[in-house]
Amino acid sequence: MKINRYMKIIGRKILLLAGSVFILSLLVFYISRLSPGDPLVSYYGDRAEKMSPQEQEWARDRLGLNDPIHVQYIRWLQNAFRGDFGISYKYKMDVTAVIGGRILNTLLLGGIGFLLIFVLALLLGILCAWHEDKILDRVICKIGTVTSCIPEFWLSLVLILIFAVSLRWFPSSGAYAVGKENNPADRVRHLVLPLTVVVMSHLWYYAYMIRNKLLVEVRADYVLLARMKGLRKSQVMFRHCLPNILPGYFSIMAVSVPHVLGGTYIVETVFSYPGIGTLTYESARYQDYNLLMLLSLITGITVIVCNMLAQAVSERIDPRIRVDDEGAYGEVEEL
């Protein structure tokens, strides 16, 4: 009986996921083809301009770009079901191969960044709530507000200017030096600056959220009772207040995966870090249709799965949230 219910829920979720992905793919497919610009340039490079009209026509035909859009879409869909997502016009390789070569870099940057944000925000939030309205809290709040306002690309530029150009401590671009692909120390050196930007630009958002949630929690009556019973401040904080706010924090962190991901994209482009972000930027800009499709599907699926995960987590921890309660998503409140 219970298993049956779970199966039903899981089935519904999978159906929802499939539907969303389908609409997403349709959307991206149409918009990317509506945009002006010539995919031939991305395939043939400069040679495209020197080709005669007949040759261009022939090349278009060969890439299947002359059919009506819906025919192209159906063909793409059929191939996609067989696991064939087409070739990248620019790299002339299977798009899966192009992405496969780079996704690890992004996962490294995004993953470590996400973990750091998660842990540091928790610590910082607790620190601020502990010293509420004292000098330390106020100073951290001020600094935090300022850092959260700095646009990612400008922070990257300033860090490059200071640490790469002037001091020469860290390299300014790339994921590894030429010929040192398997040298972990070199990779770490290349990661430091991008990672700093990713963490700095998101950290305060979550730390502030933790702080405010704790401040509300600390004013509850049970805290007074616990203190009257003689528990120490730290005991109340870590045993009672913190566990109460953690579920909300977990689900918000799950929802915010795309936020961090989106930030990674910009940082990657500034540092010319060979990851998914730079690839997305290139493919959208230079009409590399097949590559763009798969990339947007990957990001879209990540986002949707994370949303579902967030919902599942909060349901699991807090059974009061019903399965299809409206607005059950942990909403990421704007700072």
Partner 1 sequence: MRDGFEIVGIRRTEQYPASGSQSRRQGKPLVSALLLCFIAAGCLACKWMTAKDPSYLNLQYHSMPPNREFIFGTDTMGRDIFSMIWYGGRISLFIGLVSTLLTTFLAVIVGAISGCASGKVDAVIMRGVDILLSVPELLLVLLLQAVFGRPNVFSITLVIGITGWMRMSRVIRTEVRQIRNSEYVTAARCMGGGFFHVLWHHLVPNFISSVMFMVVMSIRSAIVAESTLSFMGIGLPVEVISWGSMLSLAEQALSGRAWWMILIPGLFLVVTLVCLTNLGNHLQRHVNRRHSNL
Q: Angle, to 10 degrees, between the axis of helix 184-218 and the axis of helix 95-130?
A: 40
In this complex, which beta carbon is closest to partner 1, that of residue 236 or of residue 253? 236
Burial of 159-192, coded b for 16+ CB within 10 Å and e otherwise, reads bbeebbeeeeebbbeebbeeeeeeeeebbebbbe
Question: Per rule CB under 8 A, is residue 135 in the interface with partner 1?
Answer: no
Closest CB 327 distance from partner 1, rounded Å:
6
Strand partners, 85: none
Count, residues near partner 1 per rule CB under 8 A? 64
Question: Per rule CB under 8 A, is residue 172 in the interface with partner 1?
Answer: yes
- Which one among 5, 14, 62, 154 touches partner 1, defined by CB under 8 A? 154
Residue closest to 282 by CA, chosen among 297, 294, 292: 292
The interface mask with partner 1, positions 35-74, x = CB under 8 A, is xxx-------------------------------------
The interface mask with partner 1, positions 266-285, x = CB under 8 A, is x--x----------xx--xx
DSSP-based three-state secondary structure for 6: helix
Residue bearing tokens 């924090």: 249
d(CA 271, CA 4): 50
Contacts of 75 (CB under 8 A, 6+ apart): 64, 67
Question: Per rule CB under 8 A, is residue 160 in the interface with partner 1?
Answer: yes
In this complex, which beta carbon is closest to partner 1, that of residue 132 or of residue 318? 132
Strand partners, 94: 87
- Which one among 32, 42, 106, 196 touches partner 1, defined by CB under 8 A? 32
In this complex, which beta carbon is closest to partner 1, that of residue 33 or of residue 189? 33
Question: Per rule CB under 8 A, is residue 143 in the interface with partner 1?
Answer: no
Question: Per rule CB under 8 A, is residue 138 in the interface with partner 1?
Answer: no
Backbone angles phi, psi at 182, to 5 degrees: -105, 15
d(CA 86, CA 43): 13
Question: Per rule CB under 8 A, is residue 145 in the interface with partner 1?
Answer: yes
Question: Per rule CB under 8 A, is residue 18 in the interface with partner 1?
Answer: no
Beta strand ranges found along the chain (DSSP E): none
Question: Per rule CB under 8 A, is residue 31 in the interface with partner 1?
Answer: yes
d(CA 44, CA 90): 8
Tokens of 128: 């601020």
Closest CB 224 distance from partner 1, rounded Å:
4
Interface region with partner 1, contact rule CB under 8 A, candidates 22-30, 69-77, 118-126, 312-320: 22-30
Question: Per rule CB under 8 A, is residue 20 in the interface with partner 1?
Answer: yes
Closest CB 331 distance from partner 1, rounded Å:
7
Q: Would you say the C-alpha torsion 162, 199, 151, 139 has a positive or negative sign?
A: negative
Contacts of 144 (CB under 8 A, 6+ apart): 124, 203, 204, 207, 208
Site residues (CB under 8 A) for partner 1, limited to 216-245: 216, 218-221, 223-224, 227-228, 233, 236-237, 241
d(CA 20, CA 302): 12
Tokens of 204: 């305060």
Residue closest to 129 by CA, chosen among 238, 223, 212: 212
Question: Per rule CB under 8 A, is residue 307 in the interface with partner 1?
Answer: yes
In this complex, which beta carbon is closest to partner 1, that of residue 55 or of residue 212? 212
Q: Which residues of this chain interact with partner 1, rule CB under 8 A?
A: 20, 23-24, 27-28, 31-32, 34-37, 132, 145-146, 148-154, 157-158, 160-161, 165-166, 172, 215-216, 218-221, 223-224, 227-228, 233, 236-237, 241, 258, 261-262, 265-266, 269, 280-281, 284-285, 296, 299-300, 303-304, 307, 326-327, 331-332, 334-335
